[in-house]
Amino acid sequence: MTPLMIGLIVAASVVVVFFIVMAAVIPSMSHDLSMQIKDRSIKANSTLNDLSLKFNVMCDYAEG
């Protein structure tokens, strides 16, 4: 085998191992998500043919 073929096999093996590890780790992570709608956080814009909504989303990772 040429060095290029060996390199491709090694690279493919590393990618496969990475995906297997991530598939095992990601389901064990748990995050609670709470959502609330505040005043003036949703805006609507209506034209003749189109309707659009704008949501202001804030991510807060601090507890409480």
Handedness of CA 11, 15, 17, 21 (dihedral sign): positive
Nearest CA to 42 out of 30, 52, 33 is that of 52
pLDDT in tens, 14-57: 999 999 998 888 777 766 666 676 766 666 776 766 777 777 66
Please tell me which residue, 4 or 44, carries the higher pLDDT value: 4
CB 57 within 8 A of CB 45: no
In 5-59, DSSP assigns E strands to 42-46, 51-55
Q: What is the pLDDT of residue 18?
A: 93
d(CA 52, CA 36): 21
pLDDT score at 28: 74
